[in-house]
């Protein structure tokens, strides 16, 4: 019976290697990039874009590389790719004021301003989205949104057990590529097992997605989230002012008419209101000839 405490002690002293850890597990991948705060802008405005990067693994992480890139503009009836020839912004501007265009690779350092992120350590990444009067945008009735795709690289673990991981968001793949990745490894009635050279995470063939970009390790490790921000004309303030003024006017008239119908409750207000009404109804003197 003593072998069980000894086995437990061995497991504590010699934890599983990084290779044994499920790097693509959604419980880890889903929270690597989190707490996105993106701006809603009018043409010519600027606003903050922030997110939190966190090491969600039980291993040290180093050499984090993050890329954010605007790749698509959409309205209700408009769907345009944002390519290299896209002009007029919006642009990403870093914290020292350098315009990075429509793609940005911020420096992501750990809490001690080193390349090391220990388990559960995080860093807030922030920059500014700048628009111009000529920036393509939506209207009051049609929202205009710019979609941002994300790419992430990092080293996980230490020494011989270190893994270099690549992760990308949905925006890096076409609909056809994503549909291909969603095909099952084997037919539904097959009793065979999927080859070990093909890596699936959930329903998606990560080996195929990695081959689209020729990733050196042969497969993608995870799918991280896209995000978006909006650029649209703002609703003018005069309708709100007009509606608010009308509501106040109707409220005042309702009180005055109530006082007129119940003079015993509000005698002074009723006399004043009747006086105002009497003056407005006073006949005008005839014009002299």
pLDDT in tens, the chain (289 residues): 445 444 444 344 444 444 444 788 888 999 999 999 999 999 999 999 999 999 999 999 999 999 999 999 999 999 999 999 999 999 999 999 999 999 999 999 999 999 999 999 999 999 999 999 999 999 878 889 999 999 999 999 887 678 899 999 999 999 999 999 999 988 878 878 888 888 888 889 999 999 999 988 788 999 999 999 999 987 666 666 777 888 887 787 788 778 777 777 778 877 787 777 675 555 555 556 5
Each as own residue / partner, the long-range contacts of residues 106-113 (CB below 8 Å, 24 or more positions apart, any chain) are 106/66, 106/68, 108/53, 108/64, 108/65, 108/66
Map tokens 């994300």 to a residue: 150
Provide the pLDDT for residue 52.
98
Q: What is the pTM of this model?
A: 0.74
- Contact of 49 with 39, CB cutoff 8 Å: yes
φ/ψ bin of 140: left (φ > 0), alpha (ψ from -120 to 50), beta (otherwise): alpha
> Could you give the domains of the chain?
18-231 (2.60.40.10), 238-281 (no CATH)
Q: How many whole angstroms separate alpha carbon 150 and alpha carbon 239?
A: 39
How far apart, in Å, are the Cα atoms of 198 and each of 23, 153, 201?
A: 15, 21, 10
Sequence-distant (6+) residues with CB within 8 A of 97 are none
What's the angle, vertex CA 222, arms to CA 220 and CA 223, rounded to 5?
110
**H or E, element range at 252:** helix 238-261
In angstroms, what is the C-alpha Rg of the chain?
Answer: 32
pLDDT computed for residue 238 by the predictor: 61
Would you tell me the crossing angle of helices 238-261 and 267-281 to the nearest 10 degrees? 110
pLDDT at 288: 61
Location of structure tokens 């890329």: 67
Q: What is the pLDDT of residue 18?
A: 44
Neighbours of 166 (CB within 10 A): 20
Give the pLDDT score at 151: 97
224 bridge partner residues? 169
Cis ω on the peptide bond leading into residue 244 (within 30° of 0)?
no
Residue 179 tokens, joined: 């549909």
3 state SS of 45: coil
């Amino acid at each position: 019976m003593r072998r069980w405490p000894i086995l437990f002690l061995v497991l504590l002293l010699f934890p599983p290697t990084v290779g044994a850890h499920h790097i693509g597990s959604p419980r880890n991948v889903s929270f690597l990039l989190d707490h996105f705060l993106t701006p809603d802008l009018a043409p010519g405005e600027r606003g903050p874009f922030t997110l939190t990067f966190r090491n969600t693994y039980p291993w040290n992480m180093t050499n984090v590389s993050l890329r954010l890139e605007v790749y698509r503009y959409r309205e209700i009836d408009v769907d345009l790719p944002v390519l290299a020839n896209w002009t007029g912004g919006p642009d990403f501007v870093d914290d020292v004021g350098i315009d990075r265009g429509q793609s940005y690779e911020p420096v992501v350092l750990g809490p001690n301003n080193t390349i090391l992120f220990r388990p559960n350590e995080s860093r807030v990444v922030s920059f500014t989205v700048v628009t111009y009067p000529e920036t393509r945008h939506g209207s009051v009735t049609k929202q205009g949104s710019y979609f941002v795709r994300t790419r992430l690289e990092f080293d996980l673990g230490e020494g011989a057990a270190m893994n270099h991981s690549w992760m990308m968001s949905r925006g890096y793949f076409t609909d056809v590529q994503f549909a291909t990745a969603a095909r099952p490894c084997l037919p539904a009635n097959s009793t065979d097992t999927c080859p070990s050279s093909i890596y699936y995470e959930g329903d998606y063939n990560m080996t195929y997605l990695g081959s689209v970009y020729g990733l050196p390790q042969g497969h993608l490790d995870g799918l991280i989230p896209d995000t978006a921000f909006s650029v649209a004309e703002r609703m003018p303030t005069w309708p709100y002012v007009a509606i608010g003024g009308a509501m106040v006017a109707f409220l005042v008239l309702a009180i005055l008419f109530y006082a007129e119908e119940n003079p015993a409750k509000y005698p002074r207000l009723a006399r004043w209101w009747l006086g105002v009404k009497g003056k407005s109804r006073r006949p005008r003197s005839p014009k002299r000839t």
